[in-house]
Homo-oligomer: A and B are copies of this chain.
Amino acid sequence: MTHSIAILGASGYTGAELVRLIATHPNMQIKALGANSKAGQAMADVFPHLRHLDLPDLVTIEEIDFSGIDLCFCALPHATSQAVIRDLPKTMKIVDLSADFRLRDPKVYAKWYGGQHAALECQAEAVYGLTEFYREEIRGARLVAGTGCNAATGQYALRPLIAGKLIDLDEIIIDLKTGVSGAGRSLKENLLHAELSEGAHAYGVGGTHRHLAEFDQEFSAIAGQEVKVQFTPHLLPANRGIIATVYVKGEPDAIHAALAATYADEPFLHVLPFGQTPSTRHIRGSNFCHIGVSGDRIPGRAIVVAALDNLTKGSSGQALQNANLMLGEDETAGLMLAPVFP
Contact = CB atoms under 8 A, between A and B. Distances in A.
- How many copies of this kind of chain does the complex include? 4
A340 B181 CA distance: 12
Interface string A291-323: 010111110010101010000000000000000
A296 B230 contact: yes
Given A51-B270, A206-B295, A279-B199, A191 B194 contact: yes
Contacts of A187: 187-189, 192
Given A206-B303, A207-B297, A236-B236, A200 B177 contact: yes
Contacts of A222: none
Contact of A298 (B207, B241, B243, B296): B207
Given A23-B338, A245-B234, A270-B52, A239 B181 contact: no
B194 A180 contact: yes
A51 B304 CA distance: 19
A292 B48 CA distance: 12
Interface in A184-233: 185, 187-189, 191-203, 205-208, 212, 228, 230, 232
A280 B232 CA distance: 16
A241 B13 CA distance: 21
A180 B286 CA distance: 22
A256 interface: no
Contacts of A283: 49
Contact of A177 (B234, B267, B279, B292): B234
A51 B282 contact: yes
A240 to B, nearest CB: 7
Contacts of A51: 270, 282, 288, 290
A205 B285 contact: no
A241 B16 CA distance: 20
A341 B206 CA distance: 27
Nearest to A241: B199
B200 A193 contact: no
A247 interface: yes
B342 A239 contact: yes
B297 A206 contact: yes
B339 A49 contact: yes
A20 B288 CA distance: 14
A198 B198 contact: yes
Contact of A16 (B181, B196, B247, B341): B341
Interface of A: 13, 16, 19-20, 23-24, 47-53, 171, 173, 175, 177, 179-181, 185, 187-189, 191-203, 205-208, 212, 228, 230, 232, 234, 236-241, 243, 245, 247, 267, 270, 275, 277-286, 288, 290, 292, 294-298, 301, 303, 305, 307, 336-342
13 contacts: A24-B24, A175-B245, A177-B234, A194-B342, A197-B197, A197-B239, A199-B279, A200-B236, A205-B294, A208-B297, A240-B342, A247-B247, A340-B340
Closest 5 CB pairs of A and B: A207-B297, A199-B281, A201-B279, A194-B342, A49-B339
Given A197-B239, A199-B238, A230-B247, 9 more contacts: A48-B282, A187-B187, A192-B193, A198-B241, A200-B238, A200-B279, A201-B243, A201-B279, A205-B303
